[in-house]
Amino acid sequence: MSDLAFRAVPNSTLRLSAATVLGAAPTLANLPAGSGTQVRIYNRGSVPVSIEFGAKADMALPVLPVAGGAAGAQSIPPGAVEVQTLQQGQRHVAIAVASGTPDVEITTGSGI
């Protein structure tokens, strides 16, 4: 962990509709090579979204968590901003939502 604030890579923000098409997960913008890269996730919508990062465009879509059911992907609450560190090879992102099509912004950077 760093004492520096999150610093975005220039021109690295993707705004995605929370409805990734199976087999077409977009590549994160201006992603540096190696592990330890961070992303800032901003859920611009009014409903939670589920998000996963992976190594291939044809990655599986996130599984929505269900109470009392099988484990699902992490959820990002409406209006939330989170910073996460990616593992090496995670270059794609997939987003799913139970209803609606909220926008989610994902910015590549480092610092936290």
Tens digit of each residue's pLDDT (9 = 90 or more) over 54-65: 999 998 889 888
Q: Residue 72 has what pLDDT?
A: 83
Q: Residue 68 has what pLDDT?
A: 79
Q: Which residues contact 75 (CB under 8 A, 6 or more apart)?
A: 48, 49, 50, 51, 65
- Region 64-72: mean pLDDT is 80
pTM: 0.87
Order of all β-strands in the sheet with 7-17: 7-17, 103-110, 38-43, 81-85
CB 64 within 8 A of CB 29: no
36: which 2 tokens? 């330890």
Domains of the chain plus CATH, in order, are 7-110 (2.60.120)
Distance CA 52, CA 59 (A): 9
- Region 62-91: mean pLDDT is 89
